[in-house]
Amino acid sequence: MSHVPRSAPHVQGSPVVWRLAVAERRKALAVGDEVPVVRRAPDAVDLFMFSASAWLIHRIHYDLPFTTEHDGHPGLLVHGPLQGTYMIQSVTGWLGRSARLLTTSYRHLAPAYLGDELECGGEVKEIGEGRATFELWVRKSDGTVTTKGTATFEVNT
């Protein structure tokens, strides 16, 4: 039985069919295409593991009493870099692993807290010379945009 991480996008079908679908999608990539929305709901373990793996030791991501009593937040905060990772994964999940990230930049606009369901997506903004640039976002289910950014990928069209 294969294991699918709880916050990974689920893809149905055989690997061969999936590879063909990704290759076909890359050929048809056009400015204005929307990146399919990917939903994420990080839990406390996700926040702790991301803190540990990225050496992000700020307590607002794993220590609830400190976060609420000392810093005055209503709950644990979802890391900005984790949201940036989710944005990038929304593109790589759509284009496939052969799309290679070249550059990324993002800015946080509002906090996201443990328990928030996050939606990640974007739009193709520019295509040329084997590259595609995307405008990306993360938003809460209430529509509040928490993070905006851009990313350029090398794509074989």
Tell me how far CA of residue 134 lies from CA of 39, 107, 130, in angstroms. 18, 14, 14
Where does 33-42+77-154 sit in CATH, by number? 3.10.129.10
d(CA 141, CA 132): 27
d(CA 107, CA 146): 9
Question: Is the per-residue pLDDT at 2 higher than 80?
Answer: no
* pTM over the 0.85 mark: no
Which residue would you say has higher pLDDT here, 67 or 136?
A: 136
Q: What is the mean pLDDT of residues 20-42?
A: 78
The confidence band for 112, taking pLDDT boundaries of 50, 70 and 90, is very high
Average pLDDT score, the chain: 84
What are the residue boundaries of the structural domains of the chain, listed by start?
33-42+77-154
d(CA 156, CA 141): 34
The confidence band for 97, taking pLDDT boundaries of 50, 70 and 90, is confident
